[in-house]
Amino acid sequence: MDKDRVAAREAVAQMTKSEKLSHFWGYYKWYVAGAIFALLLATMLACDIIGGTEPDLTILYVSETAVPSENLRELEAYFAEILTNANNGEPATVSIIQIVVDPNNITTDRDVAAIQSFQVQFVSGAAKLFIASPTFLERMQQFDGGYSVIEYYAPLANPRVAELMWANEERPLFAAVRIVYPREREGRNSEQTLQRHQNARMIYEVIIN
C-alpha cells in the first residue's frame, strides 16, 4: 500500500499544472461542491433571516428514496393552506427540502455530497420539522454529540400525506419535531423562530393523524 502511494505521488509530481488541476478535480469535485453548497446555504440562510424572507415552515425530507418534486410542491401548498387558515388568512409559506442518499451505502462522491448537504441542513436549524426514513430518524436522534435534538416523532398516518410521500408498510416514514434550543428563545428573531416551531407542531399533528 505504501509503495502504491509513493508511486501515485510521484506520478502526480510529474504532471503539468493543467494535468494536476484536472487530477484534483476528478478526485475531489464532489467534496469541493459540497463545501461550496454549504457556504452558499449558510449565506442564503443568513440573508433570509436578515431580510425576513425565511419560510414560515421549512421541512427536511431525508430518505433513501426520492419523491417526485410535484408531490412535494403539492404538500407545500397543502401545509401552507393549513397555516394560512390557522393565522386568520395571513398567507403562509412552506418549503420542503429533499435529500436522498443511503447513509449505510456511501459509494460515490455524489453520496458524500448528499450526506454533507444533510449535515449542513440539519445543523443549520432552519428545518423545524422532518420527514425521515427509520435510518435517518435514528441518526438524527444521535446527531448532536449523542444527544437527541428530536423532541418527539411518530409514523406518517395522514392518508393524503402518506400517498404523496409514498409511505407504506414496506417503506415507513416518520415525522419528527426539532427541540427548541434555549438560545432560540433569546435571540433577536426569537418571536419568529418560536412561531416556526409552533407551525412545525401544527403540521406534525396533521401528518401523524
Assess if residue 131 is contained within a domain. yes
Q: What long-range pairs does 183-189 form, CB within 8 A, spacing at least 24?
A: 184/125, 189/49
| Number of structural domains the chain divides into | 1
What's the pLDDT tens digit per position in 53-94? 689 999 999 999 999 999 999 999 999 999 999 999 999 999
Residue with the bigger pLDDT between 50 and 200: it is: 200
CATH number where 116 lies? 3.40.190
Assess if residue 139 is contained within a domain. yes
Which structural domain range is residue 139 located in? 55-207
Output DSSP code: residue 179: P
What's the pLDDT tens digit per position in 8-46? 566 656 666 565 555 555 555 555 555 555 555 555 555
- DSSP characters for 18-59? HHHHHHHHHHHHHHHHHHHHHHHHHHHHHHHHHHT-S-SEEE
The reported pTM is 0.73
